[in-house]
Amino acid sequence: MTTLLYTHDACLKHDPGSYHPESPARLRSVLAGLSQPEFAELKRREAPRAALDEVARCHPRPFIEAVLAAVPQRGHTALDPDTVLSPGSGEAALRAVGAVCAAVDAVIAGEGDNAFCAVRPPGHHAEADRAMGFCLFNNVAIGAQRARQKHGLERAAIIDFDVHHGNGTQAIFENNPHVFYASTHQSHFYPGTGARSETGVGNIVNVPLRQMSGSAEFRRAYDEYILPALEDFRPDIILISAGFDAHRADPLAQLLLVEDDYTWITERLMAAAARHCEDRIISSLEGGYDLDALASSAAAHVRALMTA
């Protein structure tokens, strides 16, 4: 497989504060892991800055402008207790959206089979008109809409294995039968959404996992519920909200995944992409807060993406 890697230095300059878990060190850690010799074949590309019209595929213009206007000249501005802006946050957020959009374009154009976007801030908690949970703009949701609206793909699937439910992505697409959203996440946990009963217009599959669930429960959720539903949906492209905070070492959550689980789910999604959509997968970094586990888990995911 030819795998593209999109990132930008600006994504290191969003700094919500020295005690904030969503730190620039996370991305440095991921990139250090992906600089090992086994990743030499990655096609590395600088993420462009997304145009505001691009962000507007999923967010109202006044919301976009309000977020960018809140970016401080110095110090910090909190949009909510978790979601904090620093002077570099606006540029970082636009590069994060730009990475996913450029990756969608490149994979559809056949410049690579799949792509990983090593970006921050993450996106899956961002609702159409609300930044929250460390997220400003919903990078993956915007990428899905670009694939449909710019490239004319009919059906986009988003798979979210971050330990938190992607309330933003679900809210954006819960009435849109052309976008499938499936999530595994820790139950009774931030942000409180993602019950099994939340099924949208038949396009949403949520599988909450109890605290201390591990590989067996995670894989069963995909084998029994999510992968069969994805198969029925017949996606024209698959996007992944790739959070690695369900790892057993993660300090923010209580699931017990290991690196091999990220290899496993990546391989299963690649098999679905091979059957339905010419291998097209665009994956984008969401959470993951233990720096070592994040680096090794992201490496396992990208290693699998690179392997036919």
Residues labelled as active-site residues: 125
302 with 263: CB under 8 angstroms?
Answer: no
Q: Which stretch binds Zn ion (CB under 5 A): 73-81, 99-107, 192-200, 241-249?
A: 241-249
Does 164 sit near Zn ion (CB under 5 A)? Answer: yes
Q: Which stretch binds Zn ion (CB under 5 A): 81-89, 108-116, 156-164, 296-304?
A: 156-164
- Min separation Cβ 259 and Zn ion, Å: 17
237 with 156: CB under 8 angstroms?
Answer: yes
Which is closer to Zn ion, CB of 194 or CB of 287? 287
Residue from 243, 255, 265, 294 that binds Zn ion (CB under 5 A)? 243
Does 287 sit near Zn ion (CB under 5 A)? Answer: yes
Size of the site for Zn ion (CB under 5 A): 5
Non-local (6+) Cβ contacts of 20 within 8 A are 84, 134
- Min separation Cβ 22 and Zn ion, Å: 9
- Min separation Cβ 36 and Zn ion, Å: 25
Does 208 sit near Zn ion (CB under 5 A)? Answer: no
- Min separation Cβ 206 and Zn ion, Å: 15
Q: Which stretch binds Zn ion (CB under 5 A): 3-11, 51-59, 89-97, 281-289?
A: 281-289
Residue 147 structure tokens: 């694939």
How many angstroms separate the CA atoms of 287 and 135, rounded? 10
Does 279 sit near Zn ion (CB under 5 A)? Answer: no
Does 245 sit near Zn ion (CB under 5 A)? Answer: yes
Does 162 sit near Zn ion (CB under 5 A)? Answer: yes
159 with 269: CB under 8 angstroms?
Answer: yes
How many angstroms separate the CA atoms of 17 and 238, rounded? 33
Does 250 sit near Zn ion (CB under 5 A)? Answer: no
Which is closer to Zn ion, CB of 127 or CB of 245? 245
Does 22 sit near Zn ion (CB under 5 A)? Answer: no
Q: Where along the sequence are the contacts to Zn ion (CB under 5 A)?
A: 162, 164, 243, 245, 287
